[in-house]
Structures are given as C-alpha cells and as structure tokens.
Amino acid sequence: MKAVNLHTLNTLKSKGEKFPVITAYDSAFARQIELAEIEVVLVGDSLGNVVLGYDSTVPVTMDDMLHHTAAVVRGNDLSLIIADMPFMSYATGEMTLDNAALLMQAGAQMVKLEGGAWLKESIFMLSERGIPVCGHLGLTPQSVNKLGGYRVQGRDEESAQQIFTDAEILQTAGADLLVLECVPSELATRIAEHLTIPVIGIGAGPGVDAQVLVLYDMLGFSPRMPKFTKNFLPDTGDVMLALKAYADAVRSGEFPAPEHCFT
Ligand code: KIV
C-alpha cells in the first residue's frame, strides 16, 4: 500500500470502491494494520472504554489522546491517521485550534469532532488553517448523558432530517470526511449519496463509502458486542487474518450484513 492521503480516499469514493477504517491505540496494532493494508486508522476516544476501562468516553483527556496518537503514529507510516478530539477539548474556538494543533503535532493527519451545525465555525477555522476534519453525527458517544443512553439516532422523520441537514452543513464548512454512527441504513445511504466527501459508517448499513469498527470489538475482546459489530478473529487467534478478513469484507460489501444494520 502506498501512503494514504485525502486524495486517495476521494478517488476511492469517486470510483465507488469501499474502504475499511479501524481504531488503534498503540504501536503494535498500528503496525499490523499497516501490514494488513487498511487505509485509515482512527485513534478513537473509544480508548476510554476499551483500553482504560471507563464506562464512557467522557473521562478521556487531551493527554490520553496525545499519548496514544503518538504511539499509533510511531507504528504506522502508511495509513491515514485520524485522532479524536476528546470531550470538551473543542468547547470554544480557541480551545479547538490549540488542541487540534497539539494532535497534529503528535502526528495525526486529521482530527475528528462530534456534533452538528454548532461546529460549523470551528470546522471552517480548522480547515482554513490547513487541518483536515472528520465530522461525526448520529450517535455521538461524548453526548451520551444528553442523549439518554446509547441509542440509534434518526429514526423519526424530524431527527433524520436534522442529521441530513447537519451533514450538509459540516461538508460546506470544510469537513473532509464524515462518520455516521448508529443511524438507519436508509438515512446513511441517502447522506453518502448526497455528499461529495467520503462517509464512514458504524452501525449505518452497507450504503456508505467506508466502514469503521472498534479494533477490540472486531477481535471479540469486548464483553458486550454491539449489534453492528462482528468478531473477525479466527479460532487460530491470528490477528493479521482477522484484519484482512475485515478489510476484504468491507471492500466486497459483505460487511455489514443485514443483522448488523438498523432500519
Ligand atoms: O472513538 C471511536 O472509536 C469512534 C468510532 C466508534 C467511530 O469514534
């Protein structure tokens, strides 16, 4: 695999070729992901749940994200690396710029922020200053306390329309990628077809441009497996085979299957 950049991902979208994205939190897994030729690595704040043992992503700090981003960057030279901005690290414009700059200086090539229209100025500022941005709509885990739990979003017409409009606003503000989490497949497909930027789904059905899974979920390490994930680890415990099986299943459209989707 050649070094992946935004141009690579836009070309894949324009050719209708789906690509895999996976989370990672350390150098060892980041290296395996590069060897498996997975285009994009997300240093997700899901590290709060799967690595640090918290019950949400809310306690994750900028120091946590910087530490794990730098570790992933040291292990992987070829995948495009996105770092999550943690809870409250983008609460104001100034904080957004300062904290995004720190993640980029730790080696990330893009930052990801959770939220809709309220982020448009922040995304515009980052984009104008040369920092690529990934938006995140639907189920936004940093807002779990406001959402009242981890629930599928956009199930009624009004909230579906809100997510659709927010997606347009984020793209217009300068977002380069968009994650849609836990939304009905039909809504996600409509958004992916409407936007020009690649749309990455998790629990968003097969009609988007890419899929992302939490690494420890797809290796079957998580005590509670969400409906939208799948354990790709073979009985032999070969991690490389699991990563390649996941990448192949995304590229062929075999994953997600109907049992991983919401209607
Ligand atoms: O933190 C994370 O791992 C994420 C993915 C679930 C998209 O944001």
pLDDT by residue (tens digit) across 154-187? 999 999 999 999 999 999 999 999 999 999 999 9
Q: Give the pLDDT band of residue 1 (cuts 50, 70, 90).
A: very high
152 touches 184 (CB < 8 A): yes
Pocket test for ligand 1, best of 42, 72, 182, 227 (most atoms within 8 A of CB): 42
- Contacts for 114-119: CB closer than 8 Å, 24+ residues apart: 114/140, 114/141, 114/142, 114/143, 115/140, 115/143, 116/162, 116/163, 116/166, 116/169, 116/170, 117/165, 117/166, 117/169, 119/90, 119/170, 119/173
Taking the CA of residue 21 as reference, the ligand 1 atom at the shortest distance is 7
The rounded percent of the chain whose pLDDT value lies above 70 is: 100
Q: Give the pLDDT band of residue 224 (cuts 50, 70, 90).
A: confident
Going by the DSSP 8-state scheme, the letter that residue 108 receives in this structure is: -
pLDDT at 234: 96
Q: In this structure, which CATH number among 3.30.70.20, 3.40.50.170, 3.30.470.10, 3.20.20.60 belongs to the domain 6-260? A: 3.20.20.60
Compute the average pLDDT of residues 38-58. Answer: 97
Residue 84, ligand 1, Cβ within 6 A: yes
pLDDT at 35: 98
List the domain boundaries for the chain.
6-260
Residue 45, ligand 1, Cβ within 6 A: yes
Q: Annotated catalytic sites, by residue?
A: 181
- Residue in 21, 58, 198, 250 with CA at minimum distance from that of residue 140: 58
Compute the average pLDDT of residues 114-124. Answer: 98
Q: Where are the beta strands (DSSP E) in 72-198?
A: 80-84, 110-112, 133-138, 177-181
Compute the average pLDDT of residues 21-36. Answer: 98
Distance CA 185, CA 141 (A): 19
pLDDT at 99: 98
Bridge partners, residue 81, by sequence: 41
pLDDT at 194: 98
Q: Give the pLDDT band of residue 104 (cuts 50, 70, 90).
A: very high
Strands 199-202, 210-213: pairing is parallel
Residue 223 reports pLDDT greater than 90:
no
pLDDT in tens, 71-86: 999 999 999 999 999 9
Query: Which residue owns the Cα nearest ligand 1 atom 1?
Result: 44
The two structure tokens encoding residue 80: 């495009």
